[in-house]
Structure 1
Amino acid sequence: MKPTEIPQPKLPVICPSCRHALTVSALTCNHCSTGISGNYDIPVFLQLTQEEQDFVMQFFLSSGSLKQMAQHMGVSYPTVRNRLDDIIEKVKHSDKTKK
């Protein structure tokens, strides 16, 4: 994030009371006020921390080039590889807990 950017509030994914996963129960159109309710899982990408989301977005924008990401971030290739591996494990774990 650039210093002049105001951070957007992140969608909460963990209950502050019991620490279990939250689900989305309502969606509303800001244009016409149509509402949809149900019980929907939060997408895995949104369950990642803001830092992890930024990393994945940078990975996407660099066409998956870890070498390019390492140069952009000013860190070593193994550091970038380890961060990616950590995120992959987190996503795999998240996917297993939903089944």
Structure 2
Amino acid sequence: MSRRGRLPVRCPSCGGDLHVVELACPGCSTSVRGDYPLPPLSRLGGEDQQFALAFVLRSGSLKEMARLYGVSYPTVRNRLDALIERLGAIIESHERDATAAGEGEDADVPSDGG
């Protein structure tokens, strides 16, 4: 986790999913506006994100994950299965929301004039 803290994914007022509406380049001050839902992996809890990152960095080796976490292979397998289930629910929710919102429309992206 960065020093800036964890990226908020839920509205503190109503609990709804937050979306990114503006991205800015600190180098040239260009900004891009649109309505972008957060990627599914960013919607996982911090521990799940760390587990997923460790899993990818170890080429998906459950044996290496068991060694890293100091637990048995079946324990790592169970944790991975639970993570897959949570991620599947997040993706399903994201797809439902995208369908309901009519996603697929072009965002406001600056044109290069050509």
Please tell me the residue identity of whatever aligns with 1:90.
R
TM-score, structure 1 normalization: 0.88
Deviation digits for residues 79-98 of structure 1 (CA, Å, limit 9, x no counterpart): 11111111111111111112
| Paired position in structure 2 for 1:61 | 57
- 1:34-73 equivalence runs, <5 A: 34-73=30-69
CA displacement at 1:8 relative to structure 2: 4.0
Deviation digits for residues 25-64 of structure 1 (CA, Å, limit 9, x no counterpart): 1100011111111100100111111111110111011110
Of structures 1 and 2, the one scoring higher in RCO (CA 8 A, sep 6+) is 2
Between structure 1 and structure 2, the one with the greater Rg is 2
Q: Distance in 1 between matches of 2:40 and 2:78?
A: 19
Asked if residue 17 in structure 1 is aligned to residue 26 in structure 2, the reply is: no
| Paired position in structure 1 for 2:101 | none
Cα 1:8/1:83, change in 2 over 3 Å: farther
Q: Distance in 2 between matches of 1:29 and 1:17?
A: 28
TM-score, structure 2 normalization: 0.77
- Gap regions ≥5 residues in structure 1: none
